[in-house]
Amino acid sequence: MEAMAQPKYKGKRYRLDKPELLAPAGNLEKLKFAVHYGADAVYIGGQKYGLRSNADNFSFEEMKEGVEFAKKYGAKVFVASNIYAHNEDVEGIESYLRSLEEAGIAAIIAADPAIIEVAKRAAPKLEVHLSTQQSTLNWQAVKFWKDEGLPRVVLGRETSIEEIATIKEHVDIEIEAFIHGAMCSSFSGRCVLSNHFTDRDSNRGGCCQSCRWKYDLFEDGREDNGNWVSEEVQMMEQRASRPSPFKPGVTQIPLFQPEDNQFTMGSKDLCMLEHIPDLIEVGIDSFKIEGRMKSIHYVATVVNVYRQAIDSYMADPEHYVLKPEWIEEINKAANRPLNTGFFYDTPDHEDHIYEPEEKAVPYDFAGLVMAYDKHSGTAVIQQRNHFKPGDEIEFFGPEGTFFKQVVGPIQDEDGNELNAARHPLQLIRLQVDQPVRNFDMMRKRKG
């Protein structure tokens, strides 16, 4: 059953042209999927100066290929250059930015004023978008960056929808906001736990996801000076006490039983799918999806759903409805429980994950459609995860493909029948119940 979208934002509204849908792309293949599945623009990382050093990232040649591919579909490519630079980072930035300009990159996303100023001088064809790393939350700060010549500001994740309305009222500038994906437990990504624990600088691309780790908690016990303590405390000490690494002569008492879950402090993920009218009408120009480290299945699924929702609203705002199948699709790609972040209120204890999380994604990306013969009803599938005859699978795609079926007999390229598709990237022939298209994806439930 479809439901009318119920607005939560009651303030002033600004009707906007169709917003840009901006998708993450950790590598060239993900870029192509993001564009195929409906992204108006993608943001990527280069080999330097970005905050996702563990992503595959792009060489200049890959950037050029990505730009050419995106242009065919009317899409743009942005490059995240959003580190906070130390002195040794600045050397070479000028030539790097010129190379981005030569590759056809439309804009960089930057936080450090040094990088911003070099870009404006050395690569004037590159737009400079202010990164969320600047934690820009108010209209006066936004106006400052507009006066500096920047055409777009990516707001800090802590900005509420009321604050966005105030910014749009005071400053005529493009506003980009995260509307889906992982949230940081620190202030707009300015975490130093990673530096402290692993010597990996979060603000130079090395975040080790400290907030997702499992922690033990201890309290300080008695000093080891022979003072009397209760029998209960003595039992706790015998169980798993240890000397404090911070206070010589003090015993630390564990707060967990051995069978207890350990403590984590990660945030739930952001999802604003149910509030598309609010996001559009408050004046957000670019809807940003987080996830350059996420899978192809995640990128394709999330982009495809938001594309449908945005297009549906723009086609008929007065009669827009939220389709339950969109929510179902989003949940198939969800890594964690979802919430609305800071848009409507300040997250509290219910918006964080304090115990080891169960991964929510119930589906695997099983295969990619490479070809389809309408006469025989046979598809050529590039295997991405193990599947076998008898498995229930789903097909979905950017042009409306969606159906379920059971896997029948499968063959390799030479016509040999197989009892399972076991080998990554192996080409498999499979009878399909409905027509499919190139770039359609096949997935199956885990377990």
pLDDT tens-digit map of 243-296: 656 566 666 667 676 667 777 777 788 999 999 999 999 999 999 999 888 889
Q: How far apart are CA 163 and CA 169, in angstroms?
A: 10
Q: How far apart are CA 6 and CA 192, in angstroms?
A: 39
Q: pLDDT grade, residue 307 (50/70/90)?
A: very high
Which one-letter amino acid corresponds to residue 176? E
**Residues sharing a CB contact under 8 Å with residue 437, sequence separation 6 or more, in sequence order:** 369, 372, 397, 399, 401
DSSP bridge pairs for 42 = 23, 77
Q: How far apart are CA 158 and CA 188, in angstroms?
A: 7
pLDDT number for residue 164: 96
Q: How far apart are CA 417 and CA 74, in angstroms?
A: 42
pLDDT number for residue 5: 56
* pTM of the complete model: 0.86
The 8-class DSSP code of residue 283 comes to T
Task: Give the tokens for residue 198.
Answer: 């692993």
* pLDDT at residue 337 tops 60: yes
**Does residue 414 or residue 210 have the better pLDDT?**
414
Ranked by mean pLDDT, which of 68-72, 186-190, 295-299, 329-333 comes out on top? 68-72
Q: Any idea which of 13-27, 44-58, 116-130 has the lowest mean pLDDT?
A: 44-58
Q: How far apart are CA 212 and CA 202, in angstroms?
A: 14
Cα–Cα distances (Å) from 177 to 188, 208, 372, in that order, read 12, 24, 39
pLDDT number for residue 224: 47
**Does residue 202 or residue 3 have the better pLDDT?**
202
pLDDT number for residue 202: 67
Across 112-136, average pLDDT = 95
Average pLDDT, the chain: 86
**Does residue 335 or residue 314 have the better pLDDT?**
314
**Does residue 363 or residue 144 have the better pLDDT?**
144
- Tokens 């069978």, residue? 259
**Residues sharing a CB contact under 8 Å with residue 54, sequence separation 6 or more, in sequence order:** 205, 206, 293
CA nearest to 243, candidates 251, 255, 253? 251
Whether the Cβ atoms of residue 164 and residue 286 lie closer than 8 Å to each other: no
**Does residue 145 or residue 197 have the better pLDDT?**
145
* pLDDT at residue 383 tops 90: yes
CA nearest to 179, candidates 96, 92, 285? 285
pLDDT number for residue 1: 39
Backbone CA torsion sign across 94, 25, 75, 39? negative
Whether the Cβ atoms of residue 229 and residue 284 lie closer than 8 Å to each other: no
Q: pLDDT grade, residue 225 (50/70/90)?
A: very low
Q: pLDDT grade, residue 183 (50/70/90)?
A: confident
DSSP bridge pairs for 45 = 80
Which one-letter amino acid corresponds to residue 107? A
* pLDDT at residue 215 tops 90: no
**Residues sharing a CB contact under 8 Å with residue 85, sequence separation 6 or more, in sequence order:** 49, 93, 112, 114, 115, 204
CA nearest to 386, candidates 421, 411, 358? 421
**Does residue 192 or residue 303 have the better pLDDT?**
303
Domains along the chain? Answer: 3-190+266-343 (3.20.20.70), 216-254 (no CATH), 363-445 (2.40.30.10)
Residue 176: enclosing H or E segment and its boundaries? strand 174-181
* pLDDT at residue 231 tops 70: no
* pLDDT at residue 233 tops 90: no
Across 139-159, average pLDDT = 97
Whether the Cβ atoms of residue 164 and residue 177 lie closer than 8 Å to each other: yes
Q: Any idea which of 16-20, 57-61, 258-262, 333-337 has the lowest mean pLDDT?
A: 258-262
* pLDDT at residue 53 tops 60: no
Across 63-91, average pLDDT = 93
pLDDT number for residue 200: 74
Which one-letter amino acid corresponds to residue 179? I
pLDDT digits (tens, 9 = 90+) for 345-370: 888 777 777 776 655 667 889 999 99
* pLDDT at residue 230 tops 60: no
Cα–Cα distances (Å) from 319 to 6, 12, 282, 312, 400, in that order, read 12, 20, 18, 9, 21
The strand ranges marked E within 301-408 are 321-322, 338-339, 352-353, 363-373, 378-383, 392-396, 402-406
